[in-house]
Amino acid sequence: MDELIKTFKALSEDTRLRIIKLLEGGELCVCDIVAALDIIQPKVSFHLNVLKEAGFLKDRKQGRWTHYRIDDTDFFRRFLLVSVLERIPKEALAADRKRLETFMEDKPVRDNLVSLPEKKRCAGRCR
Amino acid sequence: MDELIKTFKALSEDTRLRIIKLLEGGELCVCDIVAALDIIQPKVSFHLNVLKEAGFLKDRKQGRWTHYRIDDTDFFRRFLLVSVLERIPKEALAADRKRLETFMEDKPVRDNLVSLPEKKRCAGRCR
DNA sequence: CTATTATATAAATAATACTTTATATAATAG
DNA sequence: CTATTATATAAAGTATTATTTATATAATAG
């Protein structure tokens, strides 16, 4: 029963649902999420960890960055995620999406690194 | 998004899942649930209200009693309830079920009232 | 090697949620 | 009407969870 409670509790918080909605578009590193949500990094890390511990996210370390993505290996959690995604209207989190886009576009440093091996690049404007 | 959070939060607590599992067997009045869970009445009322506010339960007043039952009018909540029920193994809450059965059987007063109109009877041993 | 960057984690604080105790209310038995 | 019963609610206390600030760690650029 504890696992079930942990599962639902992970989905019972605003910031975490915003993260899920962001990751609908694919993998992001922590700094991308920080920029998109416009909240401080330890707060983002805290919530990412709650979602990960509950089995909703997977992480992938790459150099200095940690990339998070939706973990869709479990059927029940996958159903819950889809339910969440379809119940949050696109316009509700438009600001998050907008900040993410701006952050992604406005990355002069990344452009300089496009030719470097994947290991050294970040999806955002990280150096 | 707030409604979604409220929905999941309602399912993020031990006592509330025990209540849901109890109500799988059908409508019960508050005193039945108090007896089954062996916890104090205001605590039960608090959790019943959380579940009701989240749309998982309906209540029905009958004389001095309030009977609660699962509200299966909404498809999504219904799916969540079924998911909860099937994920809580029968043996996990055997003690609750046992206390409920004992309480239901051991009701000398109710037997005296069986012939009275429905309005005056309680499912438990309430007088 | 040193400085910087990305992220994590610890400690302190703040905010929420739950529990308990006490009391209110409404129905009804006597 | 008065006492009792079932349930609800308010107030106070406790516990849990979230947030912030500060710091640690690990990677890497220079």
- Residue B70, phi then psi, degrees to nearest 5: -65, 135
Looking at residue A127, the DSSP 8-state letter turns out to be: -
User: Tens of pLDDT along chain A (127 residues)?
Assistant: 999 999 999 999 999 999 999 999 999 999 999 999 999 999 999 999 999 999 999 999 999 999 999 999 999 999 999 999 999 998 999 999 999 999 988 754 433 333 333 334 444 444 4
The number of beta carbons lying within 10 Å of the beta carbon of residue A69 is 13
Q: On chain D, which bases lie within 7 A of the protein's CB atoms?
A: 5-10, 17-22, 26-29
Which stretch of DSSP H or E encloses residue A57?
strand A57-62
> Residue A29 and residue A100: Cα distance in Å, rounded?
11
Q: Do residues A28 and A8 touch, judged by C-beta distance below 8 A?
A: no
Kindly report, residue by residue over B111-122, the tens digit of the pLDDT.
333 333 333 344
State the average pLDDT over residues B100-126. Answer: 53
Please report residues of B whose CB lies closer than 8 A to that of A11: 4-5, 8
Q: Residue A65, SS3?
A: strand
Q: What pTM was computed for the model?
A: 0.86
Residues touching nucleic chain C (CB < 7 Å):
A 29-31, 34, 41-42, 45-46, 48-49, 59, 64-67, 122, 126-127; B 9, 12-15, 39-40, 42-43, 46-47, 50, 63-64, 119-120, 127
Looking at residue B91, the DSSP 8-state letter turns out to be: G
Contact assignment for B88 to A1 by CB distance below 8 Å: yes
- Residue A57, phi then psi, degrees to nearest 5: -130, 155
Kindly report, residue by residue over B20-79, the tens digit of the pLDDT.
999 999 999 999 999 999 999 999 999 999 999 999 999 999 999 999 999 999 999 999
Distance D2 C1' – B123 CA (angstroms): 27
